[in-house]
Amino acid sequence: MRLPDVDRGDGLRGRLLIRMISVVSRMRLPDAARVALYHKDFVSPAIGAWTQGTMRGPSEWTVGERELMAAMVARWNASRFCTGAHRAVALHAGAPAVVDACLADYRTAPIGEPLRAALRFLETMTLRPAELGASDAASALAAGVSRTQLADAAAVGCLFNIVNRYSDALDFAIPSDREFDRAASTLLKRGYG
């Protein structure tokens, strides 16, 4: 359900800010940013801080790897907006061929076994959460994923299993590849805070 206030802002300040950012950036402000401006208590500061900490805070995973995880969770959830957004950031942060190979089939992509094992864990977490158990964590640890890496990957999965659903429930507009690319550059530099 598309909320008109997300499109235009829910007050004069929000409307002006959305318009100013769109004019300065020469593109429509993506709906994820619009939602952050819509009734700040709806998304911010809790989800904003959680997203910033998960995606840009200290981690044994690189920013590119975490963005790839977010894109994979979005792909499994069939969330077109989030897949496009996180794919674009992952492309900016890492090797484009690897990102697209993972999105096509992470099992055969040219990645290290710890990342593959983390993605396998996230796939179960996303598609078959009732089946996720200690044996999945043990398999990831046996493949070289550290406990900290597993916790960080689970945080990415948890966060984006929520975000994918609200982006789809609010019917986020799907930007063009060029707009995703421009927004990704900003997200990579500034983060989610």
What is the total count of domains within the chain? 1
Question: Does residue 141 surpass a pLDDT of 60?
Answer: yes
Q: Categorize the per-residue pLDDT at 136 as very low, low, confident or very high, splitting at 50, 70 and 90.
A: very high
Identify which has the larger pLDDT, 11 or 163. Answer: 163
Percent over 90 (pLDDT), the chain:
59
Residue 120 lies in a domain: yes
Residues with Cβ within 8 Å of residue 133, at least 6 apart in sequence: none
Residue 15 lies in a domain: no
Q: Categorize the per-residue pLDDT at 147 as very low, low, confident or very high, splitting at 50, 70 and 90.
A: very high
Q: In terms of residues, how long is the chain?
A: 193
Mean pLDDT across the chain: 87
Residue 184 lies in a domain: yes
Q: Categorize the per-residue pLDDT at 118 as very low, low, confident or very high, splitting at 50, 70 and 90.
A: very high
Gyration radius of the chain over CA positions: 17
Residue 156 lies in a domain: yes
Alpha carbons 186 and 33: distance in angstroms, whole number: 12
Separation of CA 67 from chain center: 6
Q: What's the pLDDT tens digit per position in 28-52?
A: 766 666 666 665 666 667 788 899 9
Residue 82 lies in a domain: yes
Domain that holds residue 109: 47-190
Domain CATH for 142: 1.20.1290.10
Provide the pLDDT for residue 16.
Answer: 73
Compute φ and ψ for 124, nearest 5 degrees: -65, -45
